[in-house]
Chains A and B, each alone.
Chain A
Amino acid sequence: MIALPTYETVKVGDALPELALPPLTRATLALYAGASGDHNPIHIDIDFARAAGMPDVFAHGMLSMAWLGRLLTNWTPQRNLREFSARFTAMTLVGERIVCTGRVAEKLERDGERLVRVTVATANEAGDIKVSGEALVALA
């Protein structure tokens, strides 16, 4: 059992335990489309994607953000999340093996609450960043 992070114990620069995903499959994109309600065919229908000028389907940005959500809630209970944002900088492609990482960037107090700002990112095996983001987490 890993001790939950507390405001006193975390240090700026601390890394969150990383989350490694299996290679992205088309089946996962289909499942995510159904589960999320995002049925935009550009993520699940290669004919539509090609007609739109893309070489293939690609992952929903929000699938990557959901993985980053898992990274965060593996580290601290979800109830501690105050803010969470992501910037989708590159497409996540079928077959890519994505790793999610996070790091404590700042400790701060706001409205009487002790918070840490965590920066997070997803990257493929080559280290190309696909999604970057940050979260504000309240720690006791």
Chain B
Amino acid sequence: MVDSSTVGLKFAPHSADVEAGRLRLFAKATGETRPEYLDDAAARAAGHPALPAPPTYAACLYLDIADPFAWLRELGVDIARILHATQAFRYIAPIYAGDRLTFSSRVANVFQKQGGAKTFIVKLTEVDNQHGVRVAEARATLVVRGG
């Protein structure tokens, strides 16, 4: 069972490419039809150097590894029992197609509610681009049902 002794635990950083094709698929999946999110020329006309990654996309690419749920198993958590409770982003610099992002995550907090019936895990992820610029910070809270 995961408990507060895991606070501060760091996971191995990993990197992922922001790909234009994936951004277009993301736009399709989320119903986005504005040309600046789909078409390179329209993105440039809107003042972007390439297709922009939409506001929640940074949280997607940190799943882009062979085994994105390994960190939960490392904590002894069954993914069938987790729910996403909250997600927060702080935006520092824009993210564009062609960027390569590095994700560095750690357990920021673990706490329990309802007399231990629910455990909350807060994971903080810092996102840096290929120039070493911090582009975003993402904070996810997951609930483990039944502890």
Contact surface of A with B, Cβ cutoff 8 Å = 21-22, 28, 31-32, 34-40, 42, 48, 51-52, 60-63, 65-67, 69-70, 72-74, 78-79, 81-88
Contacts and interface: CB of A to CB of B under 8 A. Distances in A.
Interface residues of B, number: 33
B90 A83 contact: yes
Contacts of B69: 40
30 contacts: A28-B29, A31-B25, A32-B30, A35-B22, A36-B29, A37-B60, A37-B61, A38-B68, A39-B63, A39-B68, A42-B79, A52-B81, A63-B30, A66-B30, A66-B54, A66-B55, A69-B56, A70-B54, A78-B52, A78-B94, A79-B94, A81-B91, A82-B90, A82-B91, A84-B89, A86-B86, A87-B85, A87-B86, A88-B83, A88-B87
Interface of B, secondary structure class, is mixed
Interface of A is mostly: helix
Contacts of B87: 61-62, 65, 85-86, 88
B30 A88 contact: no
B80 interface: yes
Contact of A36 (B60, B83, B88): B60
B64 interface: yes
Interface of B: 22, 25-26, 28-32, 34, 52, 54-56, 59-61, 63-64, 68-69, 79-81, 83-91, 94
